[in-house]
A and B are shown apart, each in its own frame.
Chain A
Amino acid sequence: DAGVIQSPRHEVTEMGQEVTLRCKPISGHNSLFWYRQTMMRGLELLIYFNNNVPIDDSGMPEDRFSAKMPNASFSTLKIQPSEPRDSAVYFCASSPGTGRIFGSGTQLSVL
């Protein structure tokens, strides 16, 4: 298996633009997580899906953030409109149980 695949690896955009981050989890993993990592706050859980259903989105910063998981092999995290304070590394992770397998992340810079 190729692991958790995220795209793009890097995204540079201007304030106000829509940003869509993509994730392909490991086949057979029934849990999917989106995290954000910054120097100040470390790794923060944004949203958790189980069997494609959003279970906990309490970590989503505000209404500008949304996430979907239309099927077991694909998820998106969308930011609309983006702001400079959204600049961070966004990770997707999948899990068959308690451990997490992380993707390589998307480095987002909002200018």
Chain B
Amino acid sequence: TQLLEQSPQFLSIQEGENLTVYCNSSSVFSSLQWYRQEPGEGPVLLVTVVTGGEVKKLKRLTFQFGDARKDSSLHITAAQPGDTGLYLCAGAKNSGGSNYKLTFGKGTLLTVNP
């Protein structure tokens, strides 16, 4: 069972375009994280969102956590080739005081062409 569905699976755009990728679930998460993974490297944490409806900005990246804490989106403004990578969302559930279990989506592979 895939608890976190990410869409689109692949996205190829030109430099300067805007884009939004989505992370959806039928489950409620106590927090949600976004990672970016470049070829040959491990995922790197970009942001953690905790509160339903929360919006966080990281330069040209805007992250939003859904009101019901079941979904999230990542919007990139004026994409650059350096934004190329696999974007992964991961949801945490606070179970019995322990939230170590992160469920990862399969990711959106973004390619930004110069």
Contact = CB atoms under 8 A, between A and B. Distances in A.
Interface of A: 4, 31, 33, 41-45, 48, 50, 55-56, 91, 93, 98-105
Interface string B18-50: 000000000000010101000011111100100
Contacts of A31: 100
Given A42-B107, A98-B31, A98-B92, A56 B101 contact: yes
Given A31-B100, A42-B104, A50-B100, A98 B48 contact: yes
Interface string B88-114: 100010000001111011110000000
A90 B100 CA distance: 19
Nearest to A6: B42
Given A99-B45, A105-B41, A45 B106 contact: no
Given A42-B106, A43-B88, A102 B100 contact: no
Interface in B32-84: 33, 35, 40-45, 48
Interface of B: 31, 33, 35, 40-45, 48, 88, 92, 99-102, 104-107
27 contacts: A31-B100, A33-B100, A42-B105, A42-B107, A43-B43, A43-B88, A48-B101, A50-B100, A55-B100, A91-B43, A93-B42, A98-B33, A98-B92, A98-B100, A98-B102, A99-B33, A99-B45, A100-B35, A100-B102, A102-B42, A102-B44, A103-B42, A104-B40, A104-B42, A105-B40, A105-B41, A105-B42
B42 A45 contact: no
Contact of B102 (A4, A45, A50, A91): A45
Nearest to A95: B100
Contacts of A44: 104
A43 B104 contact: yes
